[in-house]
Amino acid sequence: MLAGVRLAFSWLTVLPVPVRHVDRRLAGIAITAAPLVGLVLGGAAAGLLLLLDLVDVGGLLAGFLVVAFLAIVTRGMHLDGLADIADGLGSYRGPEQALAIMRDGPVGPFGVVALVLVLGTQAAAVDHWPALILAVTAGRVAFVLCCHGVPAARQEGLGALVAGTQPLAAPVFWLIGLLLASPLADIAHPYRGPVAVVLATGLVLLLVHHVQRRLGGITGDVLGAAGEITTAVVLVVLN
């Protein structure tokens, strides 16, 4: 279990966490533990937001700085996934050609638009630290959702390693936890947190269904896209 948690931090952050070997079992544990990474990242981002408030930096500038911080500490991997998914699906090509675009092609117009819209939305919606923690954590719960009951779109890469590794109990456990904690993200309007979680979950399930129909399954890019979209949705609802 501990090795899987170390792998999660090694994969999903810039932390120099040593990992000796990676197999499908360990990768599955890492995906299950991904929300813990989200909780740590969300806490760090919340700390930065509070620090910026102390030095009278707020509004959109603070939002962009927080989003930039999250991109740096995650190596921009999830943003790369978002851009690749947008270009692949936006190409309207067949599965093999779309996957080739996602794997080998530079960022195209659909990818650029997706990055601008999602990052801009996140930055503009950053408002208070409890919502930020919930949003970033929910973004990693999306990884667990993506890896339940769906095959990989190709036989190599991260998707092949983690697709279908999550039993139903894993996403159910994390979603219940999110729903129970979500009212704390906006105490004045406690219903907004659960609404944000449910809406984001629905969008992730729609994304997974769509990529399975278009590509035959998930890739690592799908996880990144789902995480960024989920983070944006939760932030917007709680703004």
Q: Which residues contact 141 (CB under 8 A, 6 or more apart)?
A: 34, 35, 38, 171, 174, 175, 178, 230
Q: Which domain holds residue 196?
A: 2-238
Quote the CA–CA distance of 88 and 96 in Å, as a whole number.
10
186-207 pLDDT, tens per residue?
Answer: 988 999 999 999 999 999 999 9
pLDDT bin (cut points 50, 70, 90) of residue 113 is: very high
Structure confidence at residue 149 as a pLDDT band (50, 70, 90): very high
Q: What pLDDT is attached to residue 193?
A: 96
Q: For residue range 59-72, list pLDDT tens digits in order.
A: 999 999 999 999 99
Give the DSSP per-residue string, 158-193: HHHHHTT---THHHHHHHHHHHHHGGGGGTTSTTHH
Measured CA to CA, the distance from residue 233 to residue 97 in angstroms comes to 30
Mean per-residue pLDDT for 141-155? Answer: 95
* Other Cβ atoms closer than 10 A to 168: 9
Report the number of distinct structural domains present in the chain.
1
Integer Cα distance of 182 and 158 in angstroms: 30
Q: Which amino acid is at 118?
A: V
The yes-or-no verdict on residue 218 having pLDDT over 90 is: yes
222, 229 contact by CB (below 8 A): no
pTM for this model (two decimals): 0.95
Residue 120: band (very low, low, confident or very high) from pLDDT cuts 50, 70, 90? very high
Q: How confident is the model at residue 22 (pLDDT cuts 50, 70, 90)?
A: confident
